[in-house]
Amino acid sequence: MDKINIKEKFDLITEYWKPKIVGELNNQQIRLVKIKGEFVFHKHDKEDEFFLVIKGLLRMEFEDKVEILKEGEFIIIPKSVKHRPVADQEAHLLLFEPDSILNTGDIINELTVDSPEKI
C-alpha cells in the first residue's frame, strides 16, 4: 500500500500510445498513457473503457459523433462501440480497464501492446 504520484509516473513515460500499468484492483488495471496524433478506430467486444484526461485535450471520435474532453473530464466507452482517440497536441490520460483488454481492441497493428509494462 504505497501512494502513487501520477505526475512522477508520467515523467517515466517517453513513448506515445504505450500504456503503462500503475495499479491493479479487482481484475482491473489503472494505466497511464501519453498520446499524440490519431489512434486506430477499434472496438472492444467484451470490455468497457474509462478515459480520464489528466493533461491536454482528447478528441474521442465515434462513427456518428465526436466528444471533446478537457483536463479533469472522463468518458466511458461501452463495449462494442467503435471509437478512436485523437490528440492534436500531447495529452496525458488515465485509463481504468479490465486486465484482459488489448489497447487496440479488435485491431492488431504496430500500436498493439500485448503486455503493458508496470511502472
How far is the C-alpha of 40 from the C-alpha of 114, rounded, in Å?
16
* Domain edges within the chain: 6-118
Residues 6+ apart with CB under 8 A from 26: none
Q: Which residues pair with 16 in a beta bridge?
A: 34
Residues 6+ apart with CB under 8 A from 115: none
CATH 1.10.3720.10 at 6-118, yes or no: no
pLDDT band at residue 1 under the 50/70/90 scheme: confident
Q: What is the pLDDT of residue 86?
A: 98
33 grid coordinates: 498513457
Residues 6+ apart with CB under 8 A from 110: none
pLDDT band at residue 18 under the 50/70/90 scheme: very high
pLDDT digits (tens, 9 = 90+) for 66-83: 999 999 999 999 999 999
The residue among 85, 111, 113 whose CA lies nearest residue 99 is 113
Residues 6+ apart with CB under 8 A from 11: none
